[in-house]
Structure 1
């Protein structure tokens, strides 16, 4: 792993945060896959830093249940937890349906324009097969729904729960047809919110989440080796 451009040496805390963010990105992008071993010494060497910020970054990731440390065995990227994903699904549905109702009641022209732009971007990303950019736009669209509901920072409050949902989403590698279908579902939600139809917005959101959760079940079936009930470094 090469030292990233812009990697600054402005103090241990700053370097620790940069190492943490770099590793987080590699875990969420699946560059570092579940059960991969992580060498503290090798990371320090590759990044050109001391082992202290690497150790501190790994400790942070361990507290988020993204890294597991086995004494005398090593440090490994944690498998995806089925229980945490199930919890994230429950919380997401519990939040997003009422949020869509509130959004329909409080939508502003500014937020509506931003939502329309995201849908246009999603159509472009889908046509290009740009999976990574599509998922970022997907996230931005749902954040805008929360903004319309007057709770734009609610996703930040979810912290660890949102991270574990993101891990499985990054495995999806959606095809163009599926990305187009998701964009169409988003368009239906947007139109209901824009029109001020709370009931239609909630129902459109319910149908969208049902399709999203179906995708997640299919991803788990396709990649059982990445989940915690498949295998564990401690057992090998």
Structure 2
């Protein structure tokens, strides 16, 4: 499988920041998406000044974006040495998995109890688009529609505000999920699981919706160790920065 690693220039040089949103938010969004999609691979150095130069902004909004990404565990800073894309940490993965399962299973159950006709139409529409993206093997679109499905379930359940903590929890899982793309069997299984969840919600079967969501969000767990063995550099911190820091 070919991963999507790109140069920082390829990611940022064509980006155009707009005046209608805070620059720090736009920098954060650009970098976060590149990190989660593995365009920026774990343990790769990244500098505030380089990002600022490529986006033609001051270092202040870039620093703010770096702080947010560090708080989410997506960047690691070694004082006086370097900032790197954080490695994928098993502890963070398992914590994210626990949080996501607790929220999303309860959300699916609630959605099944209260969904209306408009919600049914919207959920089935996004499911159809997700299936179409799979058939066309449009992987970036496939991934975005996966996120949209889960976000929409929160909205249908009347719990729109829970989308943000779920999205942050998914961030740690998404990099691992990108290691499985494009794997047709995995992607087909995702769509099949979404179909089971969505139909249970649309048919007002809350217990079935909860269980179907549980099966779905746990799907990646049995594969974690195998992926860690296959991509050890993504999961393990490069020690050279820490050694240099200790020597000073």
1:107 is the counterpart of 2:115: yes
The equivalent of 2:232 in structure 1 is: 224
- From 133, 136, 149, the counterpart of 2:144: 136
In the TM superposition, what whole-angstrom CA distance separates every residue of 1:124-162 from its partner, at most 9, and x where no partner exists?
A: 111111222111111111122222222122121346433
In structure 2, runs of 5+ residues without a counterpart are 1-8
The equivalent of 2:74 in structure 1 is: 66
Q: 1:21 to 1:204 in 2, by over 3 A?
A: closer
In structure 2, the residue corresponding to 1:76 is in which secondary structure?
Answer: strand
In the TM superposition, what whole-angstrom CA distance separates every residue of 1:98-129 from its partner, at most 9, and x where no partner exists?
A: 22221211111111111111111111111111
Distance 1:203 1:60 in 2: 34
Q: Compare 205-214 and 125-134 and name the one that shifted more.
A: 205-214
TM-score (norm 1): 0.86
TM-score (norm 2): 0.82
RMSD over aligned Cα atoms: 2.4
Task: Give how far 1:3 is off.
Answer: 3.2
Count of residues in correspondence between the two structures: 233
The equivalent of 1:54 in structure 2 is: 62
Distance 1:49 1:101 in 2: 45
In the TM superposition, what whole-angstrom CA distance separates every residue of 1:4-61 from its partner, at most 9, and x where no partner exists?
A: 44324x59x9333322222222212211111101133322322223333333332332
Distance 1:100 1:52 in 2: 40
The equivalent of 1:19 in structure 2 is: 27
